[in-house]
Amino acid sequence: MLCELEFIESDWAALFWSLGSTTAIFRRSLPHALRAAFKRWSGEERPMLKHIRRNAAGALSGILIAFAVLAAGFAAVRVLLALFPAVAMRRESAELLAVIVAPETIFVVAAVALWRKRRPMAVGLMLSAVIVVAHVVVHVSTH
């Protein structure tokens, strides 16, 4: 390889030729047992990726459900405040109840109910619950 490298004129061509030669050397020098072990390892990767994909889809669906519950809570507060303008003086307590307390309760109850059969979805719900609580804490502490 080193002798042939001297006859290549361009530096880039020499670099690519040496990389290709190094790849060929490594392919021939690896023992058969190491290649077989790598094939077994890479063959087991597919079920693991399927498992990861299923868990990610479950967690994402839990997050989407949590988002829908929060959106419904916001919509309910807006509709109730529009229907009953006299309650507007207690707007903050109504928003606190409809946007924080009720959804958090729904998240926890749903996560407990889903924990055995749909654990990734329950994890997504609990992750959303923690994020909402952190958001409320930061909002209250800064305002």
Output 41 or 101, whichever has higher pLDDT: 101
Output 26 or 56, whichever has higher pLDDT: 56
Torsion of CA 105, 108, 111, 113, to 10 degrees: -70
DSSP 50-99: HHHHHHHHHHHHHHHHHHHHHHHHHHHHHHHHHH-GGGGGGHHHHHHIII
Q: What's the whole-number mean pLDDT along residues 86-114? A: 76
Residue among 24, 31, 1 at smallest CA distance from 14: 1
Residue among 92, 103, 142 at smallest CA distance from 126: 103
What does the alpha-carbon distance between residue 96 and residue 29 come to, in Å, rounded to a whole number?
Answer: 68
Residue 141 near residue 80, CB atoms below 8 Å:
no
Residue with tokens 């229907």: 83
Amino acid (one-letter) located at 43:
G
pLDDT cut 90: percent of the chain above it? 0
Kindly report, residue by residue over 55-94, the tens digit of the pLDDT: 888 888 888 888 888 888 778 777 877 787 766 556 666 6
